[in-house]
Amino acid sequence: MQDGPVPPPLVRRRAVVRGIVQGVGFRWSCTRAAERFGVAGWVRNLSDGGVEVAVEGPVDRVEQMLGWLARGPRFAQVTSVEVAEEPPVGESGFRIVG
């Protein structure tokens, strides 16, 4: 028998965001959105001008974050988001890397 509610299963998605998205402003906005949605992971600029984002958490929150990535902050012009599924790693927090 289990005590208390069962936590929702975690999922992890890695997304590559393309468009006018590179820079500190987009990465900072990602960290704020991740805090708002309650997901863990990281964000980094890619050498080809895209941004890579790993998002981990309950499926509904991860989907909300991916929806946000497709829209991006007002100043960004997102043209595409390629998403791949990965196994969760038990990450906590959200950070800017590289």
| CA distance readout (Å), 89 to 7, 51, 55, 57, 71 | 16, 21, 11, 10, 26
Per-residue pLDDT at 72: 86
First to last CA, the chain: 44
CA distance 29 to 59: 21
The residues annotated with a catalytic role in the active site are 27, 45
Per-residue pLDDT at 35: 96
- pLDDT tens digit sequence for 45-82: 999 999 999 999 999 999 999 999 999 888 888 999 99
Per-residue pLDDT at 1: 56
Please provide the average confidence, as pLDDT, over all residues in the chain.
Answer: 92
How would residue 8 be classed by pLDDT, with cut points 50, 70 and 90? confident
Contact 19, 81 (CB under 8 A): no
Is residue 2 included in any domain, yes or no?
no
Q: What is the CATH number of the domain that holds 47?
A: 3.30.70.100
Is residue 5 included in any domain, yes or no?
no
Is pTM beyond 0.85? Reply is: yes
Is residue 4 included in any domain, yes or no?
no
Is residue 51 included in any domain, yes or no?
yes
Q: What domain range includes position 65?
A: 10-96
Is residue 3 included in any domain, yes or no?
no
Evaluate if residue 20 carries a pLDDT over 90: no
Give me the number of domains the chain comprises.
1
